[in-house]
Structure 1
Amino acid sequence: MTLADLPASSPQHPPRAALRGIRPVARALVRLRWRVEVDGAHHVPAQGPAILASNHVGLIDGPLLTVFTPRPVHALTKQEMFSGRLGPVLRATGQISLDRFHADPGAIKACLRVLRDGGVAGVFPEGTRGDGELHRFHHGAAYLALVTGAPVVPVTMLGTRPPGGGTNAMPDRREGIHIVFGRPWTCAAQPWPRTREHVLATSALLWDHLRAELELALARTRRSLPGPLPAGQSGDDPDTGFLDQTREQ
C-alpha cells in the first residue's frame, strides 16, 4: 500500500481548515497564561505529509502540539479523553481516538488518511505521560513512516509539567515553556508485506534519532526535564515497544 492507494479522509476527520480557524485564537489564549517559545519550526515541512513524534511529560502536551506546530496537526489521542469534557473539542478539531491497549487498525488508517491528504499526524511514542526521556518507545511512528515514507519530525516538550509535579500538574502562571522541533528523519516507504523484523529495525533507528534530538534540545534551551512522576502516579501503558531498562526509574 502507498499513500495513493489510501481513500480520502473520512468525515470523522474534518479538513484542516477547521483547525486553521481555531489555532490563532488558541495560541493567544495560551500565551496569556504561559511564556511559550517555539524553536526549530523550520524543521516542519511546509507542505506534504509529515509525522510529529513528541516526548510526553505533561497534561498540556497534546493541545500545545496542536496549537503551536506551524501546520495543523491530527494527533493520536487516548480514547479515554474523548469521553470527557474535551471530547467535543477533540472531535471538532479532527484528533484521532486511539485504544492503547488493543490493536486499533482504525486509528492507524485514520493517520494514514491524514498523511495521504498531505497533512500532519502527531504521535506520542512513549504512550503515556512520564519523565519525557523516551525510556519506552512504541512502534506507531516508525510504522507510519515505513508505510508512507513521510518524514518524522522530533518534538521535545520542556516546561509543560513542573519538576516533581503529578500527572495532571501544570506549570505556574507565566512560567516558560519550550517546544523544540528537531531535524526530520526519513526512511524509504516499504510496500506490502512489511515484516515485524523490518518494523522493529526501523523503530530502533527512529528511537536513536529522537533520543539524540532530545539531548540537543536540552542543550540548546539549557533546560531540564521534570523528572519521574510521584510514586503511584505512573499511567497505565501497554507492555509493547522498546524499553531502555538502564534508564527506567
Structure 2
Amino acid sequence: MTDRKVPSRWGPRWSRWVGRFMAKVVWRTEVRHVGRLPRSGAVIVVANHIGIADGPLLHGVIPRGSYFLIGGHMMEGVLGRILRAAQQITVEGSGREALAQGLAVLKRGDVVGVFPEGTRGGGEAESVHGGAAWLAVRSGAPVLPVAILGTRLPGESVHAWPKLGRRMLMDFGEAHALDIPQELKGRARQAWAAERVAEVLRDHLAAVQQTTSLELPRDDPRGLRAANDAQEA
C-alpha cells in the first residue's frame, strides 16, 4: 500500500470536535469509562449500531483521532463530502480496499472504528460481519467494545436524527487482545476471531444495560422501512 492511500491525520483533528459538539451541546451524551481507551497505539473500536447519529457521536467522544469504516451509500451529497473531508474510510464493493486502508491506519498506530453489524438495527449485535476480526487478526490490535444507547428509540426510523437534547449513553468497555489459538489456521482462524469479537461486544452490551434505564430499540429496521414506504406511497 502506498502512503497516499492511508487516510490523513488532518481529517479527525477537526472533525472529532464537530462530533464532540453534537454529543455535548446538540444532545446530552453521557460518556462512561472513556479512560479505558489506550492513549496510544493501534485500537479497533467496535460498537453496536442503532441510529444515524452513532458514528458522528462516537467519533466525537473518542479522545483520539479515529477512522470509521462507512458504507458507500453514506458518502453522497453534503454528508458524504463532510465524511470524506474527515478522512473516514469508504466501504464499497467487497470492502477489500476499505479493509486495506483500515489496516494501514492500525499499522500507523491509530484508531479504527467498526460497526460490525454492518447496518443500523435493533442494536443487540446478534449478527456481525467479519471486518473487525479481519483487522484484528492481521494487525494484532486489541478490540475495544462500546455500547451505544439512546440514539434511536423503538419505533423511530433508522434514517431519522434524534430529537434535540435527548439523553444518550456511550459506555467504553475493556480492550481485549484476541489471543487466537495457535492451532487454528486460515478460515478457522478468521471464524474464531469473528465470533470472539461478537462475544466481546455482546457481553459488554449486556453488562451496560444492567446499569441504565435507556433501552435498545430491539426492532426490525426492515419492518420500519416497509411501513414508512407504505405510508409514503
What is the TM-score when the length of structure 2 is the normalising length?
0.88
Displacement of 1:174 in angstroms is 1.4
Find 1:116's aligned residue among 99, 107, 124: 107
Whether 1:10 and 2:1 are equivalent positions in the alignment is no
Aligned match of 1:83: 76
Whole-angstrom CA distance in 1 between matches of 2:128 and 2:205: 13
Whole-angstrom CA distance in 1 between matches of 2:76 and 2:15: 21
Whole-angstrom CA distance in 1 between matches of 2:192 and 2:15: 39
Displacement of 1:11 in angstroms is 5.4
Q: 1:116 to 1:28 in 2, by over 3 A?
A: same
| Paired residue secondary structure (1:169) | coil
Task: Quote the RMSD (CA, aligned, Å).
Answer: 2.2
Aligned match of 1:178: 169
Where does structure 1 differ by over 4 angstroms across 4 or more consecutive aligned residues? Answer: 188-191
Displacement of 1:127 in angstroms is 0.6
Displacement of 1:104 in angstroms is 2.3
How many residues matched? 224
Displacement of 1:19 in angstroms is 1.7
Where does 1:1-249 land on structure 2 (aligned, <5 Å)?
7=1, 9-10=3-4, 13-15=7-9, 17-99=10-92, 102-188=93-179, 195-229=186-220, 231-233=223-225
Partners of 1:53 and 1:125 within 8 A in 2: yes
Would you tell me which structure has more helix in proportion to its own residues?
2
Q: Percent identity over the alignment?
A: 35
| Paired residue secondary structure (1:137) | coil
Q: 1:179 to 1:97 in 2, by over 3 A?
A: same
Displacement of 1:31 in angstroms is 2.6
Partners of 1:149 and 1:188 within 8 A in 2: no
Q: 1:148 to 1:71 in 2, by over 3 A?
A: same
Q: Which runs of 5+ in 2 are unaligned?
A: 227-233
| Paired residue secondary structure (2:170) | strand
Q: Which runs of 5+ in 1 are unaligned?
A: 1-6, 235-249
Displacement of 1:32 in angstroms is 2.5
Whole-angstrom CA distance in 1 between matches of 2:199 and 2:101: 26
Q: 1:162 to 1:170 in 2, by over 3 A?
A: farther
| Paired residue secondary structure (2:84) | helix
What is the TM-score when the length of structure 1 is the normalising length?
0.83
1:41-75 Cα deviation digits (max 9, x unpaired): 01211000000111000011111111111111100
Whole-angstrom CA distance in 1 between matches of 2:2 and 2:63: 23
